[in-house]
Amino acid sequence: MHDLISSSSSPSIMDDRDNNIPRFDWDLSLSAVVSSPPTGTDAIGAIEFDPNGEILATGGIARKIRLYRLNSLLLGTSRDGHVESCCICTPAKLSSLKWRPDLSGRVIGSGDYDGVVTEYDVERGVPVFERDEHGGRKIWSVDYTLHNGSVLGASGSDDGTVQMWDPRDGGLVETVRPGGGGAAICSVEFDRHFLAVGCADRNAYVYDIRRLVDPIFVLDGHTKTVTYARFMDQHTIVTGSTDGSLKLWDIANGPRVVRTCRGHVNSRNFVGLSVWRHGGLVVSGSENNEVFVYDKRWGEPVWVRELGGQRDRFGSDRRFVSSVCWRQVDEDWCTLVAGGSDGVLEVFSGKRN
């Protein structure tokens, strides 16, 4: 058999086998590190790039939105020796951030542990909109879309509802209760007129926002809470779960699972999940403090990197990667940001091999 495979008469066999071997097509390396504050705790729960990919925002349990210019991070330069270009104090711990798509990176929305959606003017550092309609229950996820010429917002909460609202006046557009409304909503994400919802009842749901009576798909395949539901493209959704797996779903011909990805560790925490559509890549955090990148073609990770930082004062290492984010604007340059439960932020970048 070895002679047959190595013979010149069968190169196509080797080519097919090579195509089935997971590989990473990007030369990704560490480009910048932002250390955690010397005092207090600052677990990072959300990382988001603005629509132009120039400003990076982070939020977490320190009740602050920190804003960084990506060029300053990569060059290690900024005013007064601080890479942080702006810091907005918030009244509660933050679980989610999302930039308004209609305002060119001037306003960012947040969801917090008190059940409030607040939008901030990032130049002035002040709140410009507030919505408190989840009965004080924790909001896990916020997203926006442009629909019929105007912006539409959505928030998912521990109260078991997804609320869609008009950010111009805060008016409620619709309330959705996936699976009956009893289980916490962990994730909401729009893609055009579709809405994907990750739920603690072990399912993900896909809705057409033009007709919200029932979900058009129920993605039933995980054995524990679905913490994330992200669109890879208009036909593919990626879900992440505390069962330790990611699943790629074909919703054009199904829905059906076309790939299950395993390697990262996730049994209890939000570890982050981000999809880079241009590159066909998915990144997940992990409870062993590593970052895992998966290619949509394979189920095994193609790139794994431990996040830096220090052990706690007792010498133990209970850190984990708590948030991840791809920069979406480039096709020939790859930028990945990961944040940890210890507040460390790391930026990785590189070009195609």
Measured between alpha carbons, how far is residue 293 from residues 112, 226, 301, 344 in Å? 28, 19, 6, 19
The answer to whether the peptide bond before residue 38 is cis (omega within 30 degrees of 0) is no
How wide is the angle at C-alpha 199 spanned by C-alphas 201 and 144, nearest 5°? 165
pLDDT score, position 11:
43
Stated as kind and residue range, the H or E segment containing 16 is helix 11-19
pLDDT score, position 309:
58
pLDDT score, position 80:
38
pLDDT score, position 124:
93
pLDDT score, position 196:
98
User: 79 with 64: CB under 8 angstroms?
Assistant: no
Q: Which residues of 214-253 are buried (b: 16+ CB within 10 A; e: fewer)?
A: ebebbbebbeebbbbbbbbeeebbbbbbbbbbbbbbebee
What's CA 34's distance to the chain center, in Å?
A: 19
Query: Who contacts 180 (Cβ-Cβ below 8 Å, separation ≥6)?
Result: 160
Tokens 């994730």, residue located: 187
User: 183 with 159: CB under 8 angstroms?
Assistant: no
pLDDT tens digit at each of 353 positions of the chain: 333 333 333 444 334 445 689 999 999 999 999 987 665 668 999 999 999 999 999 999 999 999 999 998 988 754 433 456 689 999 999 999 999 999 888 999 999 999 999 999 999 999 999 999 999 999 999 999 999 889 999 999 999 999 999 998 888 999 999 998 789 999 999 999 999 999 999 999 999 999 998 999 999 999 999 999 999 999 999 999 999 999 999 999 889 999 999 999 999 999 999 999 999 999 999 999 999 999 999 999 999 999 985 554 434 468 999 999 999 988 889 999 999 999 999 999 999 98
User: 168 with 147: CB under 8 angstroms?
Assistant: no
Q: pTM of the prediction?
A: 0.91
| Local structure of residue 1 (DSSP, 8 states) | -
